[in-house]
């Protein structure tokens, strides 16, 4: 299923504080330079429209959140959502998460990595394109600090089972852990756009 069309975003909204390119990231890696403070950092891979990123940043002001989105249009849309809500603890980077993790993120520095409803690449010949592959899972384990968490959700059972097997095979990460379900209290009380749609 393809992505639905995005609503038009207002051109007069300044997203310069929230929308970043890989070249804008501090080198060497220094989240304090990006956010203006020292705080636990969580990264979301594949932010889409930014629903999780904006909700998490609003609910956890003591943490910083960095979203990575490969689609330029969606990255700008998500950054606009962050700017409209005035979330100083969230940024969106337009780029390839696999490259950004390997090039920028040092070992044992992240409180959490979030990957919600990644593209399942249904056809057998396309499965090699899945973001949760052997190399990236090892990188996720590398960047998590002791006690850090990897959050992965999918609505594709085969992808879930395959990823669990791969996590067990190539990493020392433990899980999965049950997540208690609760009905949404309002339209924005969902972690992701996909969860809200279903």
User: What residues act catalytically?
Assistant: 119
CB atoms within 10 A of CB 79: 28
Q: What is the DSSP string of 53-120?
A: HHHHHHH-TTSEEEEEES-HHHHHHHHHHHHHTT-TTEEEEES-HHHHHHHTPPTT-EEEEEEES---
Under a CB-based contact definition with an 8 Å cutoff, are residues 178 and 146 in contact?
no
Residues 136 and 143: their CA atoms lie apart, in Å, by 11
Six token digits for residue 124: 């057998």
Count helices and strands in the chain by DSSP H and E runs: 7, 6
Residues 92 and 143: their CA atoms lie apart, in Å, by 19
């Amino acid at each position: 299923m393809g992505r639905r069309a995005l609503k038009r975003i207002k051109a007069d909204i300044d997203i310069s504080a929230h929308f970043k390119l890989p070249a804008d990231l501090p080198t060497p890696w220094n989240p304090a330079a990006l956010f203006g403070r020292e705080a636990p950092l969580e990264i979301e891979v594949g932010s889409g429209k930014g629903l999780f990123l904006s909700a998490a940043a609003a609910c956890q002001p003591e943490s910083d959140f960095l979203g990575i989105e490969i689609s330029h249009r969606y990255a700008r849309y998500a950054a606009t959502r962050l700017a409209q809500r005035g979330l100083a603890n969230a940024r969106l980077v337009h780029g390839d998460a696999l490259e950004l993790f390997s090039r920028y993120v040092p070992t044992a520095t992240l409180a959490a990595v979030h990957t919600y409803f990644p593209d399942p690449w249904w056809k057998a010949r396309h499965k090699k394109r899945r973001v949760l592959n052997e190399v990236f899972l090892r990188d996720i384990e590398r960047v998590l600090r002791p006690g850090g968490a990897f959050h992965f959700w999918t609505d594709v059972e085969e992808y879930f089972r395959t990823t669990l097997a791969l996590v067990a095979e190539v990493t020392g990460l433990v899980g999965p852990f049950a997540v208690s379900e609760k009905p949404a209290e309002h339209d924005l009380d969902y972690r992701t756009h996909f969860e809200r749609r279903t």
